[in-house]
Amino acid sequence: MRVRLEEPDDLGEIIVFLRSCDCRARHVSNDMLDVGFAGETELQRSLDLVAAGRCYGCAAVVSRALAELGSPLCQDCRDSGRGEGLDRLRIEAYLRIWNALHPAARASILDDSTVRSD
């Protein structure tokens, strides 16, 4: 996911903050980061959700028909073409904390339609 920071001088600080939250965060441009989750912990979380019959994207119950087809995603995540629902909610929660602590350096997730290349 792309995250835009209104105060680019704080880019290094938000990267450190997000990494302390077990996020993968890397600098993309002067005011933008690529943020996500990676590593063994996230893989295990996804596998646990799938084993429990839940969508690895948003943790909703996967319908029996989809589960029988071997789908690890619920219908909503399949329809949207992404499995990032739960990850997005977690990153938004971290950004709310960041924004509360750094009101002048507001950070927000960009939708695919608003991402620009620098």
Residue 41 is predicted with a pLDDT of 64
Q: 30 and 37 in contact (C-beta within 8 Å)? A: no
Has residue 73 been placed in a domain? no
Say which residue, 28 or 111, is predicted with more confidence. 28
Confidence band, pLDDT 50/70/90 cuts, at residue 48: confident
Which domain range does residue 101 map to? 2-51+85-114
Residue carrying structure tokens 């084993």: 51
Neighbours of 25 (CB within 10 A): 21
Flag whether 75 is in a domain: no
Over residues 88-113, the pLDDT tens digits come to: 888 899 999 999 999 888 999 987 54
The pLDDT value given to residue 117? 44
Residue 58 in any domain: the answer is no
- The pLDDT of 2-10, averaged and rounded, is 90
Domain count, the chain: 1
List Cβ<8 Å contacts ≥24 apart for 14-21: 14/98, 14/102, 14/105, 14/107, 17/94, 17/98, 18/91, 18/94, 18/98, 21/94
Asked, for residue 67, whether it belongs to a domain, the answer is no
Residue pair 23/33 in contact (Cβ under 8 Å)? The answer is no
According to the model, what pLDDT value does residue 32 have?
94
For 5-21, what is the mean pLDDT?
90
pTM for this entry: 0.63
pLDDT tens, position by position, 53-91: 888 777 888 888 888 888 888 877 777 765 566 678 888
pLDDT of residue 82: 58
